[in-house]
Structure 1
Amino acid sequence: MPTAFTPSGPVVVVAAALYDDAGRLLAARRSAPPELAGRWELPGGKVEPGESPEHALVRELREELGVEALPEERVPGEWDLKPGHVLRVWRTRLVSGSPVALQDHDELRWLGPDEIWSVDWLDQDVPAVKQTVALG
């Protein structure tokens, strides 16, 4: 039986630790797929073949939130998602626009430092959020 071609290395999923001027972190509530709906995540998505992670993050934030953003600094670490997928996070600055839930999300919230754990984060995002918050 032939085996399916798989690219070398894991599929990279990028996410934004997007902060506003008041120091609040943006969280996005998933609307799809059904097994993730209602849980919260850092917005982002998969890196496409031939695309840099930073470019993917800019594209995903444009598509999902309708904003222009600039990845500034990678948060140290890499976190396993489902098999063959890893999450990488960047501290990201909003360049223009106001985030709106356009794709894959039904609600957005700006969370102050004392509100970070008031939402039901996806299990896979918890370590990335902890690392992001620890960096301040």
Structure 2
Amino acid sequence: MVSRIAVAALVRDGLVLLVHRHPSRENYPDCWDLAGGHVESGELPRDAVRRECLEELGVHVYDPVPIPMTTSNPQLDMHAFVITRWDGEPVNTEPDEHDDLRWFRPSELPNLKLADPGTLPTILAALQVASR
């Protein structure tokens, strides 16, 4: 069964926000990833990413811009969004899911253990889109 996933690349001052997945997570433990999660039944991916940002980061996001994302897992239907406007300061409101969150420069991303290394081009593209 394919899982629909919506993820957010929050970008500010040329930096992208990533969350560190808790080492006890069943899927993709102990690695960095974009914030987000499952799209619920009847929910649009754009609405899911808004909900996930509120649940996981405590921020209300505006104007999510979709960008293409590929993943090496054929069981995931990924929907990625660049977000440059939000209310509040992102914090880790889901400590059971994530044990850290941090802003990264593009040059730091290739050295990170990402949930799916194949998403690196998407994250870098998000930084490019946000800088326009």
Q: Same fold (TM over 0.5)?
A: yes
Matched, 1:105 2:98: yes
> With structure 1 as the length reference, what TM-score do the two structures score?
0.80
Q: How does 1:59-74 map to 2 (within 5 A)?
A: 59-74=51-66
Letter in 1 for 2:98: H
Letter in 1 for 2:122: Q
Mapped partners of 1:48, 1:109: distance in 2? 27
Q: Per the alignment, do residues 118 and 87 of structure 1 end up closer, same or farther by CA in structure 2, a change over 3 Å counting? A: same
Matched, 1:44 2:24: no
Deviations 1:41-90 (A, max 9, x none): 01100000011100000000100111111243211244353x53222211
* Equivalent residue, structure 2, for 1:17: 9
Deviations 1:74-119 (A, max 9, x none): 11244353x5322221111231111111211110110012212232
RMSD: 2.0
1:15 positional shift: 0.5
Whether contact under 8 Å (1:26, 1:109) holds in the other structure is yes
Q: How does 1:2-13 map to 2 (within 5 A)?
A: 10-13=2-5
* Equivalent residue, structure 1, for 2:25: 33
The number of residue pairs the alignment matches comes to: 124
Q: Does 83-92 or 99-108 show the bigger shift?
A: 83-92
Secondary structure at the counterpart of residue 114 of structure 1: helix
Mapped partners of 2:28, 2:70: distance in 1? 20
Q: Which aligned runs of 4 or more in structure 1 are off by greater than 6 angstroms?
A: none
Mapped partners of 2:59, 2:119: distance in 1? 22
Matched, 1:118 2:111: yes
* Equivalent residue, structure 2, for 1:132: 123
Whether contact under 8 Å (2:46, 2:64) holds in the other structure is no
Matched, 1:79 2:64: no
> With structure 2 as the length reference, what TM-score do the two structures score?
0.82
Whether contact under 8 Å (1:17, 1:89) holds in the other structure is yes
Identical columns (%): 29
* Equivalent residue, structure 1, for 2:82: 91
Compare CA radii of gyration and give the structure with the larger one: 1
